[in-house]
Structure 1
Amino acid sequence: MGTVHAKEPERANSMPDRQSDTEKEILLEKIPVKVCRIVVDGLGRTKNDIIVNEVQPIFEASNFQDMVRISHDVKNRFERLGLFKNISISIDTCKDVKKVGYEVTFGVHELRPVSGGINTLIGYNDASLLFGLRLPNLFGRGERVQADYTHGTKQSRGYHLNFSKPLNGNPDMVFGGSVYQNHGEYPWSGYKETDRGVAFDITFPTVFGSHSIKWEGVWRDLRALSRTTSFAVREQSGHSIKSSVQHLFVRDKRDDPILPSKGSLLKLTQEYAGLGGNVQFAKQDVEYQFNQSLAWDTVLQVSLAGGLLKSLDPKHEVKVNDRFFLGGPLTLRGFSLKGVGPHSDGNALGADAYWLAALHLYTPLPFRPGKGGFGELFRTHFFINAGNIGNISLNSDIRENFCHMAETFRWAYGGGIVLRMGRVARMELNYVIPMQAQRGDSINAGLQFGIGLSFL
């Protein structure tokens, strides 16, 4: 996929001072080809129809460059569909004298029908052990069944059974269904909760980004965590049934999800609860991130987020387990986890609106130790973050509500070290100086450690 340089060999009787080399350029896109045969070697339980559908575009290649490029794309799609591993590609002329052209051969190894393992999961300053059992390519068209059991360090545990299937052989268009039970403790709000639910979702791409539509039905049991749990949380205890539809839109143009050097992220989430059950609300959430490379391998990052929640039942307020929370070592740094906003007897109650903004300057480690290797997993960063959370009454002056949210904000600044943990999580150790807080906030000044999947 480019240019091939061929050098004519030096003649034996040529004198050194009269030596001449001729260089020829062979443009691969100028070489016409005809694909006469495609072979997929190593098939077992994978169905023929999905293989034929995936390799068909190779027959349409009109030149050598297209043939190689499309073959590589097919290899990637095989892997993303979860059909094979260790795929090799070889291209040769057809050995059949009756056919003239090229033969493309894929050497494949199907995934084992059953696999499992033990892994570590990372949450909001929490770690869990995950015991998983996987059945990849279950029916031969990329279907996948996964059963998991998780046990966390903070009394969290759960069971999860998930089925997913690519639609029309497209790895970006997936239908899924799941059944689960989760139990967790939330000490910042003084309650524990057990959820038992079922969910169905479909994910599909568009020219603007990826969309996901999900229906979830869940039976929730909320209980006081201890005798010190505030009455404001205790009175929300009991059973509730939530039936909701969620829509998630993601447009991610970043070159890396954890430590990007360029690109932007836009994430929009809408949830409507009230399709049955006794929980009724509408929830909107938005997140935006922009990254710009500067001189000396530094990166400027701007992050914004905000959300709004409204009860659809005037007789009942939204419960604490559906509200927004703010504060933590990866969001509003300088404050304790969920430590900002309305509280009652030390328990965070959450709120129905929030906004958050952060400005980061990422730089390589001083003196670049481990450059090009282990040292590339680390970055130093300097930041300023600000935000606010509160309850907004849509029946009163909306402008007054938003002015209050803008005037009583919290903010802090600091610096520290960021460690990339694969492409899914990050760890931060920062020294933070809170500059403005409100009554009832839980401040965490000085050294602050955080580890998790999401950050701002």
Structure 2
Amino acid sequence: MNESTSAAETDNQMMDRKTRVSSVHFDGLSNTNPIIFNPIVSGLMKPNSLGDVIEAIGTASARLKRLDIFKSINFKLEKSHEFEGEIDIIINVVEKGRFELRTETQIGNQEGDLVISGKARNCAGRAEVLSGIYSVGTLTTSSFQLAFTKPLKRHCHSFDLSAHKTIHNLQSFRSHHEVLRGAALNYKRATKYGEHDCTYNATWRELCSPGPNASWAVRSQMGHTLKSSIKHTFTRDLRDNPGLSTGGYRISLTQELAGLGGDASFFKAEGDIQKYIRLHHSGLTLSLGARAGALWATGGTSAATSISDRYFLGGAMSMRGFNMAGIGPRDRNDSLGGDAFWATGIQIRSPIPLLQKSTGDTLQLHSFFNAGSLANFSSDSAHRGLFQRLKDSPLRASTGVGLILQMGPARLEFNYCLPVMYAATDLQKRGFQLGVGLNFL
């Protein structure tokens, strides 16, 4: 028997050794009521072996971090002073300040924002958070949100109530502004399979300020509508890096039903999947992505969907080689969107050998191929089914090469694009294209 085998057997024996937890203590609490940690303490008291204790500590650490009220969390195991053969768990924590105010600039999804945010933590000593965010930007003219968040049992669940007002400047591709005012009730639950996010949203929507060259299709939708909807999103994210991943995958599935009062009445279903594969020891990474979505009006056979609810396809981070919302039906200079879409992306990424020591993996080369389509809203196809219209819609495709720069959660791309399949109404972006975003294909 060699030394490595003997060491492995010794480790296994140690992990299987019978061990009971005598007590759990928190050190460093000043603003937090310790009663909220009872579910965590209960989970730490259950294990009967050292291996189970270590696993329970990992689970407890994740739950404590999710509360976002601690700067640091450290676990320490000590022999029990009261019961022989048992251990005590001491959890040393450093609480974050009760109040936080900061300003920052954010870049993502083809716009830049100046953000002012504030938080009041532990409002009642039970890990509640009252937060407010105000931002001004290039596409989102201004946005304000006030939210109250409360963790629930076992801290795998959270509940928040929020109010918001947002003004979107959509003049560049839809020739109008959109003002959103509303409130939302949100419930999140983390499971071993992924995270569930359920939201009830009541939003008063105003389409206003049509541009001088706005089309009749856009002008006819100006005015006020009320959307009352419930929305569910399931996300499973096993990527090793949210930006430049080299392995793992991410799946997101969303359903939204509107019509619980108000003017909007529709059902939406969307899916997004990304898969990353490292190609042996070459340093290359293969990235595969796909998205699809469909929108059904539920207000009767003659019901039409609102331009606010439709899908828009095209842009430097989705269908490269096309302008923002440049794919699909148009009226004059306005993109009208579609009620169904699909899009795929294939990328091969590589670090830059001569610069890898100085830039690490934050700067990479890539080549890409994108393909997709958007369902047509023309009246002559209204009698056909949704998926038949999507099938009959022209295929769009583009290819190219470029540079990727990872900047925190956002990603900047500078690409040379070549559209290879397109429709006559599409706005192509042949040549160099710059894109910034949090979501990409």
TM-score calculated relative to the size of structure 1: 0.87
Correspondence 1:84-95 to 2 at 5 A: 84-95=70-81
The one of 242, 258, 272 aligned to 1:273: 258
Structure 1 stretch 263-272 or stretch 440-449: which is displaced more?
263-272
Q: Which runs of 5+ in 2 are unaligned?
A: none
Does 2:339 match 1:359? no
Of 327, 331, 335 in structure 2, the residue corresponding to residue 348 of structure 1 is 335
Structure 1 residue identity aligned to 2:145: H
Deviations 1:47-78 (A, max 9, x none): 22222321233333334444344334423322
Give a deviation string over 1:60-118, Cα, whole Å, max 9, x none: 3334444344334423322222232222333333345x766333222212221111111
The separation in 1 between residues aligned to 2:6 and 2:273, in whole angstroms, is 49
Distance 1:294 1:82 in 2: 37
Partner residue in 1 for 2:89: 104
1:401 aligns with 2:386: no
Q: Which moved more, 1:141-150 or 1:77-86?
A: 77-86
Distance 1:442 1:109, change over 3 A: same
Q: Which residue of 2 aligns with 1:78?
A: 64
Q: 1:305 aligns with which of 291, 314, 337?
A: 291
What is the CA–CA distance in structure 2 between the aligned matches of 1:181 and 1:377, rounded to whole Å? 35
Q: Does residue 58 of structure 2 align to residue 55 of structure 1?
A: no
Match of 1:130 among 79, 94, 115: 115
Between Structure 1 and Structure 2, whose CA radius of gyration is higher? Answer: 1
The partner residue of 1:246 within 227, 231, 256 is 231
Alpha-carbon distance in 2 for matches of 1:6, 1:331? 53
Question: Residue type of the partner of 1:310?
Answer: W
State how far apart, in whole Å, the 2-side matches of 1:107 and 1:176 are. 28
The one-letter amino acid paired with 1:403 is: K
**Which deviates more from structure 2 when the two are superposed, residues 47-56 or residues 230-239?**
47-56
Q: 1:272–1:6: structure 2 CA closer, same or farther, 3 Å change rule?
A: closer
Q: Give the match for residue 278 of structure 2.
A: 293
- Distance in 2 (CA, whole Å) between partners of 1:368 and 1:110 is 40
Once the two structures are superposed, what CA deviation does each residue of 1:316-339 show, in whole Å capped at 9, x if it has no partner? 421211111010000000011111
Q: Is the 8 A contact 1:248 1:267 kept in 2?
A: yes
Partner of 2:167: 183
Q: 1:398 to 1:54 in 2, by over 3 A?
A: closer
Structure 2 CA distance, aligned partners of 1:90 and 1:362? Answer: 42
| Cα deviation, residue 194, structure 1 | 0.9
Q: Is the 8 A contact 2:340 2:390 kept in 1?
A: no
Q: Which residue of 2 aligns with 1:114?
A: 99
Judge conservation of contact 1:182–1:195 (CA < 8 Å) in 2: yes
Per the TM alignment, residue 291 of structure 1 is displaced from its structure 2 partner at its CA by 1.9
Structure 2 SS opposite 1:142:
coil
Report if aligned partners of 2:328, 2:376 keep a CA contact under 8 Å in 1: no
Report the Cα offset of residue 145 of structure 1. Answer: 1.3
Do the aligned residues in 2 keep the contact of 1:81 with 1:169 (CA within 8 Å)? no
Alignment of 1:123-202 (within 5 A): 123-154=108-139, 156-171=141-156, 173-187=157-171, 188-202=173-187
Counterpart contact for 2:207–2:224, Cα < 8 Å: yes
Residue 244 of structure 1 and its aligned partner are, at CA, apart by: 1.1
| Deviation, structure 1 residue 4 | 11
Match of 1:381 among 366, 374, 377: 366
Is the CA contact 2:19–2:50 (under 8 Å) kept in the aligned structure 1?
yes
Q: 1:66 to 1:431 in 2, by over 3 A?
A: same
SS of corresponding position for 1:383: strand
Match of 1:40 among 20, 26, 36: 26
Q: Percent identity?
A: 29
| CA apart distance, 1:219 | 0.7
Partner amino acid for 1:185?
A: N
Distance change (3 Å), C-alpha of 1:44 and 1:444? same
Distance 2:195 2:222 in 1: 37
Q: Counterpart of 2:356 in 1: which secondary structure?
A: coil
Counterpart position of 2:428:
443
Deviation at 1:254, TM superposition (A): 2.2
For these two proteins, the number of residue pairs brought into alignment is 432
Q: Which residue of 2 aligns with 1:434?
A: 419
C-alpha contact 1:82 1:137 (8 A) present in aligned 2: no
Q: Which moved more, 1:72-81 or 1:180-189?
A: 72-81
Tell me if structure 1 keeps the 8 A contact 2:235–2:250: yes
| Bigger shift: residues 396-405 or 443-452 | 396-405
- 1:207 and 1:70 mapped to 2: Cα distance? 14
SS of residue paired to 2:342? strand
- Deviation sequence 1:290-320 (CA, Å, 0-9, x none): 2222131212122111111122234442121
Q: Which amino acid aligns with 1:41?
A: D
User: Given the superposition, is the C-alpha separation of residues 310 and 41 from structure 1 closer, same or farther in structure 2, using an over 3 Å criterion?
Assistant: same
Question: Aligned in 2, Cα 1:68/1:312: closer, same or farther, shift over 3 Å?
Answer: closer
- 2:15 aligns to what? 29
Shift of the 210–87 alpha-carbon distance from structure 1 to 2, 3 Å rule, reads closer
SS at match of 1:156: strand
* Structure 1 unpaired stretches of 5+: 8-23
TM-score by length of 2: 0.90
Structure 1 contact 4–28 (Cα < 8 Å) conserved: no
Give the secondary structure class of the aligned counterpart of 2:276: strand
Give the secondary structure class of the aligned counterpart of 2:217: helix
Relative to structure 1, the CA distance from residue 249 to residue 61 in structure 2 (aligned partners, 3 Å threshold; closer, same or farther) is closer
RMSD: 2.6
Inter-partner Cα distance in structure 2 for 1:298 and 1:40: 46
Distance 1:145 1:345, change over 3 A: same
What SS does the corresponding residue of 2:36 show, helix, strand or coil? Answer: helix
